[in-house]
Copies of this chain bind each other. A is one copy, B any other.
């Protein structure tokens, strides 16, 4: 069952599984889901109007400080996979993204994940997320 929220801005990005992403078990190697989540995160940011490239141009970075993923079913070469991405929480110095990967053909949920990011400056020091961006990223749709 899908965990995608209905009261949040959600980005949906479709990817096709690359041969490079499979392993000797014939399925997608587990860390690739976290890379796909990075793709979803980038697309959500663009969709919200705060392209991650703009962050870096301003000397701000959002490194991953925590990542987790649960794997429910395997994907295989050539499969189309939909990545749903949303912001679970946007605090003053921290953003939490959540993700769901499912098979386009059947809708089957493949994996669910979560990454925690902290805002740092060029010197690597924790710093505040610009309030305007935090507001945008809070990603509430206003719907109930």
Kindly state the separation between the CA atoms of A34 and B34 in the bound complex, as whole angstroms: 10
User: A residues 14-52 with Cβ under 8 Å of B?
Assistant: 16, 18-20, 22-27, 29-32, 34-35, 38-39, 42, 51-52
Let me know if B20 and A22 touch, CB within 8 A. no
Once bound together, how far apart are the Cα atoms of A84 and B30, in whole Å? 20
Contact A19 B34 (CB under 8 A): no
Is A4 engaged at the interface, CB distance under 8 Å to the other chain? no
Asked whether B67 lies within 8 Å of A24 as measured between CB atoms, the reply is: no
Smallest CB gap from A115: residue in B: B30
A65: Cβ under 8 A from any B Cβ: yes
Judge whether A63 is part of the interface by a CB distance below 8 angstroms: yes
User: What is the size category of the interface that chain A forms with chain B?
Assistant: 35 or more
23 contacts between A and B (CB under 8 A): A16-B39, A18-B35, A19-B24, A19-B52, A20-B23, A23-B23, A23-B24, A24-B24, A24-B56, A30-B34, A30-B63, A30-B67, A31-B32, A31-B67, A34-B34, A52-B78, A53-B77, A56-B77, A63-B74, A64-B71, A65-B70, A66-B70, A67-B71
Interface membership of chain A positions 93-130, coded 1 if the CB is closer than 8 angstroms to chain B and 0 otherwise: 00000000000000000000000000000001000000
Q: Chain B residues with Cβ under 8 A from A77's Cβ?
A: 24, 52-53, 56
CB 8 Å contact bits of A56-78 with B (1 = contact, 0 = none): 10000101111111111010111
Q: Which B residues touch A51, using CB under 8 A? A: 78
